[in-house]
Amino acid sequence: MLKFKTLLPVFTFVLFAFSFQVLAKTESTIFVSTEWVNEHQDKLVLIDLSSQSSYQKFHLPNAIWVNYDWLIRPQNGLALSGGADYMTMVLSELGIQNQDHIVIYDDMGNLDASRLYWELKKLQHPKVNIMDGGTVSWVLNGYKVTQTVPKRLAKSVYRQPKTNLTDALTADQPEVLAAIKDRNTILLDIRTEAEYIGNRKQQRSGHIPTAVWFDWTLAVNAYDGFKQDKAQALLNQLAQINIQDKNQPIIVYCNSGHRAARSVIMLESLGFSNVKLYDASMQEYAIDETLPLTLGKQP
């Protein structure tokens, strides 16, 4: 009979291998749990995208605050992504390095956090996650918060990759116009129902023709710590508007690309592989009076 001391090295190796697989699996998803963050936070760069007043009240220990406005660079009167060069500069100013494992969160169901996640994915940052439920779930689970602002990270030189995924993850107006005529591409409007329906008393109102409606807030479960709703529940809701093929091209929009980023992350987390954000969204489309808009509940 084998003795315990003989089996111990084997058991230790198996346990290590299992733990590594669990960690690798966790890092391969978009969302990580508050439990996982609490366990690994000394190895992470935590970024809080809540409002400054919320951050000052309390935040995760050692979390640095990032203003959502820092992610936006106005161009021709539109609030848009500044692109790879601009985001590289922002990350360098924040002291972020390419090898950092970044976990992002906020206190709004990760509405703001999703925009930074999208920017980092365009730069192909190797390790980035969103903490599911953000500050709300963290507090509900009883984990430590603080008012202490961590020491500012020294400026870094964030290295921009030779190629980025901007074109793969971003839709422009010509693509949107092509999607109106292409039944294979889904236009997804994630604004409120009132915004989608429009108002006949307003000169430019309604939605882009053929776009289907799915309110972005449906992704967030307010009764479960503001975490993303269960995958099957979301898939069932998407199926009701005929979004089922996970390889089908989808272009998501709102007014300024803010809320749309949250829905892009939701779709990607559910396994949809061909999703783009129309960054300029309605702020660009609606001001062009030559472009059609549809009023009412029908696409």
Residue-wise pLDDT for 49-108, tens only, equals 999 999 999 999 999 999 999 999 999 999 999 999 999 999 999 999 999 999 999 999
134 and 188: one domain? no
40 and 127: one domain? yes
d(CA 86, CA 66): 15
Contact 169, 121 (CB under 8 A): yes
Residue 297 lies in a domain: no
Domain assignment of residue 132, given as a range:
29-140
DSSP bridge partners of 279: none
Range list of β-strands (E), 185-264 = 186-189, 212-213, 220-221, 227-228, 250-253
Q: Provide the CATH number for the domain around residue 44.
A: 3.40.250.10
136 and 185: one domain? no
Residue 223 lies in a domain: yes
Q: Return the pLDDT at 193.
A: 97
Residue 5 lies in a domain: no
278 and 175: one domain? yes
What is the per-residue pLDDT across 17-29, written as a single tens digit (0 to 9) for each?
333 344 434 344 8
Chain centre to alpha carbon of residue 150: 24
- The parts of the chain modelled with pLDDT lower than 70 are 1-28
Q: Return the pLDDT at 201.
A: 85
Q: Name the nearest CA neighbour of 134 among 57, 52, 228, 260.
A: 228
Q: Sort residue 83 into left (φ over 0), alpha (ψ -120 to 50) or beta.
A: left
55 and 110: one domain? yes
SS3 48: strand
Residue 16 lies in a domain: no
185 and 278: one domain? yes
Residue 292 lies in a domain: no
215 and 105: one domain? no
Residue 120 lies in a domain: yes
Q: Name the nearest CA neighbour of 241 among 196, 171, 299.
A: 299
Contact 265, 114 (CB under 8 A): yes
The domain total for the chain is: 2
Q: Return the pLDDT at 203.
A: 83
34 and 123: one domain? yes
d(CA 221, CA 228): 6
What pairing do the DSSP bridges indicate for beta strands 227-228 and 220-221?
antiparallel
Predicted TM-score of the model (pTM): 0.89
225 and 127: one domain? no
